[in-house]
Amino acid sequence: MTEARTFKQFSGNLTDPDWWRGGVVYQIYPRSYQDSNGDGIGDLNGISQRLPYIAALGVDAIWLSPFFKSPMKDFGYDVSDYCAVDPMFGTLEDFTGMLEHAHRLGLRVIIDQVLSHTADSHSWFTESRADQTNPKADWYVWADAKGDGTPPNNWLSIFGGSGWQWDTAREQYYLHNFLTSQPDLNVHNPQLQQALLETMRFWLELGVDGFRFDTVNFYMHDPLLRDNPPKGRPQGIDAAVNSVNPYAWQWHRYDKTQPENIPFLKRIRAMLDEYPGITTVGEVSADDSLDVMAEYTNGGDKLHTAYSFDLLSEACSAPHLHRILANFEQRVSDGWACWAISNHDVVRVATRWGGNQATPQALKLYAALQLSLRGSPCIYQGDELGLPEAELLFEELQDPYGITMWPAFKGRDGCRTPMPWSAAAPHAGFSSADKTWLSLAAPHLSLAADVQQQQSDSVLAHYQNFLKWRKTLPVLINGEIALLSVDDQVLAFVRNQDGKQLLCAFNLSASAAGYTLPADIGALSTCEGHGFSAAGIKDQQLDLAAWGVCFAWVN
């Protein structure tokens, strides 16, 4: 290890390099967390101001969505310089100051890495599109038109329309899985791979503690450019959303999740292993995301953890969650999941799972469930306040995805509105500007952090208390999991480690429920300190109130 790496290495990573296994991550969307300079947009110095709040919450790490230099057509997920901070968010010195502050508070810092595509203003793309013979000509995915001038195949963009855009300079099409201004990198190219590794090393040398990899299974495409087979209009869960977007009408056999992705992930991991205690979280969106999660995290030589959109769907029934967990556990060997129930891409969990008006008890159950699963939980900013999805008018939208798909899909702005810090302050304490980039949601004011900090039974207090309690129970942090029988209302499982077994049961409904435990469970003794009322336990019968939770030791 070089002297520079030793100097910047966070001491907590050296004392516990496996901190990420069961560690809790808190996702920050920088534009909407705290504005420190009065321009209506959150920034790095604003995040630094709020780090004591995050440390008091009891999480282990923060994940920052992109703050890199960008034209901001997709709000930072279109990077024009991987090693520069966009002036909107501050300077590189602001970042290192925030990083050092986080470390002093015992918080690790994970940053986003968008390796599947760049902005079309990136210098790499400027050079690549100039002609077909320049040194970076093969750094992006280029292809000739068919004889009739149409795109090379039927691949689609997630944001709507063809996944191919004609470029008059090269007289070829380039691939874009997202906006036309987000050309896809040709990660098959070994020189490009090395360049991407060097951008990651830049941030590692500064002392970051890990990376969240955006669209991690999108890095490679089928070199033969074969057509994806048809899937048809989606049915069942989430069909109302997906049926309006033809992207969901294909099996994505050739445009992503290619076998060549595995060697590249191993190359990344080999470089990261030079830095003790570094972790990775991969975002997986695939036809069979759970299988890809298992494949990408098994073996200890690829990703440390990964998450999918399976818990980010509309469904929240006990059978649905049981099926997801059972499917993953059947496929994984030594891999590790990151379980997220909200993030910057989906409707907030309070609305998505809780309906028009989620009760505080339901919100507390969702938190306890997420924090009790085998894996590393990721909490999205504002979920600790129980924020519902914000409702915006079409004229207020900023998200190009929502603007394109309106009104069937309203986009992602509703989960990205600014954090409410103080109910009585202008813009709820987020900014001193006359106008913020997205407006504060009026229903969020009564849920502001300063209000909930004065309430011992608030959702915020529950998160703080539960996270504190969880740290006292190693079985919840990295123990094994055994799912119990499926039930219409109750999700139940046992976490076990070193001979200790903890029963965890959750009534995911607004009515009381009875649950019959397996005969081999044995006697139970109530586990205290988690903040829920005691459940009724008699013989093999468990009685749970509406949104009731039971934690009990198996004797």
Which residues are designated catalytic?
214, 274
User: In the numeric block, which tokens belong to residue 322?
Assistant: 């049981």
The stretches of 316-458 forming alpha helices (DSSP H) are: 318-331, 349-352, 360-370, 400-405, 449-452
User: In the numeric block, which tokens belong to residue 490?
Assistant: 């109750």
Q: Which residues contact 2 (CB under 8 A, 6 or more apart)?
A: none
**d(C-alpha 68, C-alpha 85), whole Å:** 4
Q: Which of 415, 474, 534 is nearest to 29 (CA)?
A: 415
Amino acid in the structure at residue 347: V
CA angle 298, 301, 302 (to 5 degrees): 75
* Contact by Cβ (8 Å): 66, 79: yes
Separation of CA 469 from chain center: 24
Q: Kindly report whether the peptide bond that precedes residue 407 is cis, defined as omega within 30 degrees of 0.
A: yes
Residue 442 DSSP class: G
User: In the numeric block, which tokens belong to residue 263?
Assistant: 């060697």
Round the CA-based radius of gyration of the chain to a whole number and report it.
Answer: 23
Backbone CA torsion sign across 507, 508, 511, 513: negative
**d(C-alpha 120, C-alpha 139), whole Å:** 13
User: In the numeric block, which tokens belong to residue 238?
Assistant: 């989430």
Amino acid in the structure at residue 316: C
**d(C-alpha 283, C-alpha 27), whole Å:** 13
How far is CA 276 from each of CA 15, 143, 211, 453, 543, rounded to the nearest angstrom? 9, 41, 14, 36, 46
User: Measured in Å, how far apart are the chain's first and last C-alpha atoms?
Assistant: 47
- Residue 528 burial by CB count (10 A; 0-12/13-18/19+): exposed, middle or buried? exposed
User: In the numeric block, which tokens belong to residue 537?
Assistant: 């336990």
The secondary structure element, H or E, covering residue 9 is: none
On the CB side of 187, CA atoms within 13 Å amount to: 30
